[in-house]
Structure 1
Amino acid sequence: MTTPSEVYTLTTGVFPDRYQNGTQLEGPVYGAQLMFTGPDAAIEVIGNKITQYMFGSPSCNPWFAEVIENYKKAIIRTAGDLRKAPDDRVVLTGVWYHLDYNERPRFEPYVIHVISADGVVSSRRYKIEMFDYDSPGEGFVGMLALETTSPEDISQFLKKEAARITGKYTSHEPCGLKPLQGVIWFPAEDNNEDDIPIIVSKLFTARASHEQPDYDVEVFPSEAANPLRDEFSEALSEAGEKAEITPRFVSAYNAIVVDDVSGVDRKWMLRELSYSRFGVYRGELVVREPRSGPITLSELANSSTARGSWFQVRIDHDAYDPRFSAFDDDDRSGLNDFRAMLHDRRVPPASEDEPNCLLESDWYLAEGSTAAVRYMAVGPEPRLSW
C-alpha cells in the first residue's frame, strides 16, 4: 500500500499481512524493471491542472516545464483515461533522465498512481505510450519467484538482486554517473493477493548535479574481507572530519601503494579519493587545488579541483565539437597519459563552440591514421538540468 504523500517519489509500499487463515502464504512473484539514474520526478494531473515535482517537491525546473508543455495534450488525455472518477488525482512517477550534456533531458515514468478523493491509492506499472520516446517493454528483464515471505528479507534479497542485474552496466555517462541506479520490482498479476506492493531497489541516490552520488555500501559487499581498504576508508573519513592529512591517512595510503601489485586496490583508492577533498600528486597525498601545466591527465584528475576534461577529435583539417566527460578510472590510472600532457593554453579558442580552457594537450596522431585527438581542461564546465 502506498499513501498519497508518497506518490511523488519512487517509494516502496507497505507489505500486507503474509498470513491467511493462520497459514503463511507463498512468496510473491516480481518482475524487474531497470531504472535510469536521475532524481525522483513526478507529473500530477488534477482535472486540467498539471504540476511538476522533482526530488519529491513542486518544481519550477524550466527543462521539465518545457517537456510538460510539449506533451500537455497527451498528458491530460492520458490522465483522463486513467481516472476512475472525475475527482481522482493522477500522478505519474519516475525519474528526470539527463546524464549526457549533449542530449536533451526527458521525464522517464515508471509508476502510475490514481488517488481517489478519500485517499485510496491504486498503483501499477507505467506501460503506455504517452511520450514519443516511450517503449513499454524496454528495460523489463523477467520475473522472479521468491521463497522468502518476510518483508525485511524480501526487500534485502531484491536489493541484492538489483545489484547483480545492474552489475554488468559498469560504464559511466559523461557526467560521471552510472546509467542505471537500480531496479523497480512490480508484482506479477498472478500473485495470490491483490495488495502486494511495488518495491524500489535503489543502489545509490541521485542528488543535485553539483554533488556526488551517495552510494549504499551495504549493497556492494566485498567478496572477502579487505583490511587495507577498510583501514583506508576509516582513515579517509577521519581525515575529512579533521580537514587535514593525518598520519593514519598517510599510513593507510602507503600500505595500499606498497601491497597492491595488481593495481586493483589502487584504482579503487583513487576512485574513493575523487569524492573527497584529498588527492594524490606525484606520489604524495595532497589537498585538491587548481593546477597549472605542464601536467598529465592523471595528475589533473587525482590532485586538482577539476571534475573532468574535454576530448576533441580532428580528421584531416576538420575538428569536431569537443565533448566534456567527468574523469573516470582510466583517466585517474594514467592510461591516457601517453597522449595527454596538458600545457598552459597558448592561443584563444578557435571558435565560440570551443571551451575557453586554461590547459590543453598537443594533437596526438595515431600511427597510420588521419584522425588526431587532444584534451582540454579547466574552464566553464557544462551542467546537467537538475
Structure 2
Amino acid sequence: MLNVNEIYTLNSDRVLNSFLSADNGPSIITCPEYQGKVVLNGPDAAIDIIHRNIRLYMNAEPTDNPSFHAFVEPYRRRLLRAAKKYRTSPSDRVIITGKWHHVQYDEEPFFAPYLVHILSGDQLVRCVRYDLEIFETDAFSRVLGSPVQLRDGQNLIHRLRWAAENTLFDSFEELSSSGLPFYAGILWWPRSPRLPAVFTTVTGPQRQLLADLGILSGEVLSASMSETQQRLQHQLSEFSDALKMAAKAGHLTSQLEKTLSVLLATLATAEDEARCEAEAKMLGMLANTIFGFDGKILTVRMNLPDTDTLSFEDVANTTTAKGFWLQTRDALGREGEPKFYAFRYLHQCPSTLATILRRRTPEIDGCLPNDCKFVSDWVPSTGNTSARCMAFGQEPKLSW
C-alpha cells in the first residue's frame, strides 16, 4: 500500500516489494503482464486538487517554483473538470503525479503526468493510469510497443528492471545540453488490476558502467576482452567507489589518490583504444564533482584560471565551469545566438577538447555574450560557417 507522502511521487518498486511480501501476494501472480511507458527525466512533481483549490508539489514537498506555477495556471479549468471524473466523493483529493521535465537549456519546461492518485477521506489511496489529455505537451511521452510478459515464478522486479535498462540503453548515447539524459526510466502498468504499477529508474552512467563491467543482469565478463581491459574495468570500479567516499568527505582522500595511481599505471601501458575509452569514463565520473584532473594528479577545481591561455580540456577537467558556449558565424559575418552545453556533452564532439581559449581582449573581442571571460578564435566549421567556443560567463540554469 502507498504511504500518503508517496502520492506526490512516482511509486517505486518498493511498493511491489511490499505487495509481494504480503501473505497472499505471490499466490495471485501467474505469468503477469506489464505495459511500459517511457518516463521523461526530471524531479518528481504533482498537482494536488482539493475541491477547487490547486497545490503544486516538487520532490514530494510543496513548491513555489515560478515556472511550474506559470505552466499550470492556463490549465486550471481543465484540471478542475478532470478531477470530477476521478472522484467518487466530493471530498476526494485528486493528485496528478509525474515529472517536471527540463533538461535542455534552450527549451521550455513542462509537466509530464503519468499517474493519478485519489485520496479518500479515510486516507485510502486508489491509483489509476493518467489517460487524459489535459496538457498540450501530453504527447511527448510514449508507450512501448510490446508488453513484457513474465514466466511463472520469474523474479518480477528483476525482469522489469532488465527490460527498462535494455529499452533505454541506446537513449543515453544522446545527452541534453545540460548533460542530463532525456529519460528517467519506465513506468510499468499491470494488466491485472490486483497488481501495483511499478516505476523502474535507469541512470545512464551507472547502466553503462554495469554493462562495461559485465555484471548487468548476471552476465559475466566477455571473453573477447583483453586482460588489460578487464583490469581497467575493475580499477575503474574501485576508483568510482573511492570517488564517492571522497565527494562525501569534501576533500581528496588517500584512498582516492591510491586508486588513481593504480589506474594511471595501467593506462600508461594500455593500447590507444582501451586507454582513451577508460580515460573518458574516468573524466565522466569526475564531472560535476569538486575534483579536477590535470593529466597527472587530482586537484580541487579552481573558479577562474590565472593564466592567459588554457586548453578547452583543462577548462572541463580542472575548473568549476559547468559548460561552454558554442557560437556560429555565417559567410557574411553574421553571428548566431550562442548555445550553452554542459561538459558531459563533450563525448559527442571530442575534437573540441584540443581548442585553445585565451583571456578576452576588449580591443579585439569587445563585449562577449554572457560576459564570458575566455574565448577561442573563429575556426572553419560545416559549409561556409565558422565557430568559436567561450567559457567563464553567466551560465544558464534549469528551472528546478
TM-based fold match above 0.5: yes
**Distance in 2 between residues matched to 1:134 and 1:308, nearest whole Å:** 30
Matched, 1:385 2:392: no
Offset at residue 133 of structure 1 (A): 1.8
1:79 equivalent in structure 2: 83
Could you list the runs of 5+ residues in structure 1 that have no partner in the other structure? 205-212
Quick check: 157-166 or 329-338, which moved more? 329-338
Given the superposition, is the C-alpha separation of residues 363 and 289 from structure 1 closer, same or farther in structure 2, using an over 3 Å criterion?
same
Give the secondary-structure state (helix, strand or coil) at the position aligned to 2:38. Answer: strand
Matched, 1:27 2:31: yes
1:286 equivalent in structure 2: 299
Query: Is 1:19–1:25's contact at 8 Å kept on the other side of the alignment?
Result: no
Letter in 2 for 1:297: F
Give the secondary-structure state (helix, strand or coil) at the position aligned to 1:85. Answer: coil
1:268 equivalent in structure 2: 281
**Distance in 1 between residues matched to 2:326 and 2:91, nearest whole Å:** 53
Q: Deviations over 1:195-253 (max 9, x none)?
A: 2001011124xxxxxxxx99589975721363222332344345544723645144134
Higher strand share: 1
Offset at residue 156 of structure 1 (A): 2.6
Letter in 2 for 1:229: L
Query: Is 1:37–1:179's contact at 8 Å kept on the other side of the alignment?
Result: yes
Offset at residue 379 of structure 1 (A): 1.2
Matched, 1:243 2:248: no
Give the secondary-structure state (helix, strand or coil) at the position aligned to 1:336. Answer: helix
Letter in 2 for 1:279: G
Letter in 2 for 1:165: T
**Distance in 1 between residues matched to 2:395 and 2:153, nearest whole Å:** 49
Query: Is 2:312–2:353's contact at 8 Å kept on the other side of the alignment?
Result: yes
Q: Deviations over 1:62-90 (max 9, x none)?
A: 11111121211111111122212211110
Query: Is 2:324–2:343's contact at 8 Å kept on the other side of the alignment?
Result: yes
Letter in 2 for 1:360: V
Query: Is 2:33–2:150's contact at 8 Å kept on the other side of the alignment?
Result: yes
1:196 equivalent in structure 2: 195
Match runs of 1:154-173 below 5 Å: 154-170=156-172, 171-173=174-176
Matched, 1:10 2:10: yes
Matched, 1:90 2:94: yes
Give the secondary-structure state (helix, strand or coil) at the position aligned to 2:19. Answer: coil
**Distance in 2 between residues matched to 1:182 and 1:121, nearest whole Å:** 24
2:227 equivalent in structure 1: none
1:222 equivalent in structure 2: 213
| Structure 2 length-normalised TM | 0.83
Query: Is 1:357–1:376's contact at 8 Å kept on the other side of the alignment?
Result: yes
2:128 equivalent in structure 1: 124
Q: Deviations over 1:261-317 (max 9, x none)?
A: 212111111111224322222444322113244112112111111110001111122
Q: Percent sequence identity over matched residues? A: 28
**Distance in 1 between residues matched to 2:141 and 2:25, nearest whole Å:** 37
Give the secondary-structure state (helix, strand or coil) at the position aligned to 1:160. Answer: helix
Offset at residue 118 of structure 1 (A): 1.8
Letter in 2 for 1:227: H
Give the secondary-structure state (helix, strand or coil) at the position aligned to 2:89. Answer: coil
Offset at residue 112 of structure 1 (A): 1.1
Instruction: State the aligned residue count.
Output: 369
Computed over aligned residues only, the root mean square deviation of the Cα atoms, in angstroms, reads 2.9
**Distance in 2 between residues matched to 1:39 and 1:137, nearest whole Å:** 16
Letter in 1 for 2:157: S
**Distance in 2 between residues matched to 1:268 and 1:218, nearest whole Å:** 9
**Distance in 1 between residues matched to 2:395 and 2:106, nearest whole Å:** 13
Could you list the runs of 5+ residues in structure 2 that have no partner in the other structure? 215-220, 222-229
Query: Is 1:182–1:201's contact at 8 Å kept on the other side of the alignment?
Result: yes
Offset at residue 49 of structure 1 (A): 0.3
Q: Deviations over 1:350-383 (max 9, x none)?
A: 679x21111000111138x321111000111111
Offset at residue 319 of structure 1 (A): 0.8
Q: Deviations over 1:316-364 (max 9, x none)?
A: 22111101110026369952134x2110011387679x21111000111
Matched, 1:320 2:336: yes
Given the superposition, is the C-alpha separation of residues 32 and 370 from structure 1 closer, same or farther in structure 2, using an over 3 Å criterion?
same
Offset at residue 32 of structure 1 (A): 0.9
**Distance in 2 between residues matched to 1:318 and 1:22, nearest whole Å:** 66
Offset at residue 136 of structure 1 (A): 8.2
